[in-house]
Amino acid sequence: MALITKKIKGTEDVLPRQSYRWQFIEGVMREEAKAYGFKEIRTPVFEHTELFARGVGQTTDVVQKEMYTFDTKGGESVTLRPEGTAGAARAVLEHNLENEGLPIKASYFVSCYRYEKPQAGRLREFHQFGLEEYGTQSPVADAELICAAQSILDRLGLDKVRLEINSIGCPECRAKYNQALRDYFGGYRGQLCTTCLSRLEKNPMRLLDCKSPEDKAIAKDAPKITDYLCEECEAHFAEVQKYLGCAGVEYTVNPTIVRGLDYYTKTVFEFVTDCIGAQGTVCGGGRYDGLMEELGGKHTPSLGFAMGLERLLMVMDAQGIEIPDTSSCALYIATMGDEAKAKAFELLKRVRECGLTAETDVVGRGLRAQMKYADKIGARYSMVLGDNEIAENKAKVKNMESGEQTELALDESFAEKFSVLQLASDKAFGI
Ligand code: HAM
């Protein structure tokens, strides 16, 4: 039978030898989410199609072109989530979380699905980490959220990632702006792509993030939202900037950022880098004061962001940032004979109880092959157990990097003494 070895286009596998990299960045994100008071929410990978149509917006590329939508056997239309915000908002409403006190602060890790043209940094299945906060209209919350994203990027050691912010106003300023856009783009009707032509009346702001090069060129000189902000939105934006200043977060105001999803109001922001090619946005977010109402809930001003894990890893690679592999084997015990095997089994259990990774032979290799394997898996220490060691009840553990050997008794104290030894060498290697 032919092997089935081809994954679906635009998807990626994370192999056992690579997963420590994911776990490292996820660990940083979990810690920062906790530091800022966010608790994890987990929602289903698929939702009613209607949720994304209404939440993300009918005229967005995501909804018009990119969703994985199918009918279930029961005849319901469901969609694999293209992003995490709509599902989290649905869950907050469904479980009446507003009764538990505002603001509600939720973090998540989600796999997302968008039928986009795959290229470097653009996948059909990708992964996001996000923070969402519901029930605050204070600009302090906007600044705090941006600080949380910045802290994560700083802790990952990323360099040359710039923060760009903008305000896209509230429905009132947006109405005036939309008219200005209709007037402007109306003069280019003959040159716009068909999708943009259909968006011109319904949602002209979507013309600003069209991917067609011709439309992009026209959009360059389009009116800027910042010239149409009402007094309140302008004041809100100024406060956000004031608090970012207080926290020493550097940013530039980029009036062309409109984001590709319809729910945004007021503050929007992106963290962008030039070091991974065209798909350089590693994090995007903003305020979405109208979304909860759009989904049938009460007016609940909210905000959030999501960062793409694959893109972050690409930046770390491009910038040569080393990720410590704490998952590699701390001790490999090679054995000769049945008695040694049994002793190794007993010692390893204790070493593992100390929280260390420890392994022995389980495929029946000879001593040389066992040592070769220990080398291959990058064991930091190895130990050979044979009849002599068993008889003397002591053995030498060898530091595989320096060759240094330390004799340890094979008794109750073994695991603890080994633990102290390897901790000191881990520190020396910066693990
Ligand atoms: P987004 O800008 O569509 O926003 O996606 C957020 C991040 O996900 C992007 O900055 C990028 O790093 C990553 N990303 C998006 N599409 C792809 C793709 N095809 N392949 C690889 N990575 C990708 C949202 O999804 C909003 N839900 C963010 C948000 C949360 N706004 C408020 N709360």
Query: pLDDT tens across 125-149, in order?
Result: 999 999 999 999 999 999 999 999 9
Mean pLDDT calculated for residue range 192-196: 92
Mean pLDDT calculated for residue range 287-298: 97
Domain boundaries 331-425, corresponding CATH code: 3.40.50.800
Of these ranges, 9-13, 188-192, 197-201, 257-261, the one predicted with the greatest mean pLDDT is: 9-13
Mean pLDDT for the chain overall = 95
Ligand 1 pocket residue status of 132, Cβ below 6 Å: yes
73-116 pLDDT per residue, tens: 999 999 999 999 999 999 999 999 999 999 999 999 999 999 99
DSSP symbol at 179: H
- Predicted model pTM: 0.94
Q: Are 78 and 46 in contact (CB under 8 A)?
A: yes
- Closest residue by Cα to atom 22, ligand 1, is 308
153-163 pLDDT per residue, tens: 999 999 999 99
% residues pLDDT > 90 (the chain):
93
- Closest to 206 (Cα-Cα) out of 60, 395, 55: 60
241 is in an annotated binding site: no
What is the CA(83)–ligand 1 centre distance, in A? Answer: 7
Ligand 1 pocket residue status of 103, Cβ below 6 Å: no
**Which pairs with CB-CB distance under 8 Å and at least 24 residues apart come from 206-210?**
206/59, 206/60, 206/61, 206/262, 207/181, 208/181, 208/256, 208/258, 209/61, 209/258, 209/259, 209/260
As a whole number of angstroms, the distance between CA 50 and CA 295 comes to 10
Ligand 1 pocket residue status of 281, Cβ below 6 Å: yes
| pLDDT higher than 70, residue 425 | yes
Ligand 1 pocket residue status of 313, Cβ below 6 Å: no
Which amino acid appears at position 200 of this protein? L
- The ranges of the chain annotated as CATH 3.30.930.10 are 19-170+230-318
Please report how many Cα atoms fall inside a 13 Å half-sphere around the Cα of residue 393, on the Cβ side. Answer: 4
As a whole number of angstroms, the distance between CA 53 and CA 65 comes to 12
What is the CA(12)–ligand 1 centre distance, in A? Answer: 17
What is the CA(305)–ligand 1 centre distance, in A? Answer: 8
- The ranges of the chain annotated as CATH 3.40.50.800 are 331-425
Mean pLDDT calculated for residue range 179-191: 95
DSSP symbol at 7: P
As a whole number of angstroms, the distance between CA 284 and CA 12 comes to 22
| pLDDT higher than 90, residue 427 | no
* Domain spanning 19-170+230-318: CATH superfamily: Bira Bifunctional Protein; Domain 2 (3.30.930.10)
- Closest residue by Cα to atom 11, ligand 1, is 308
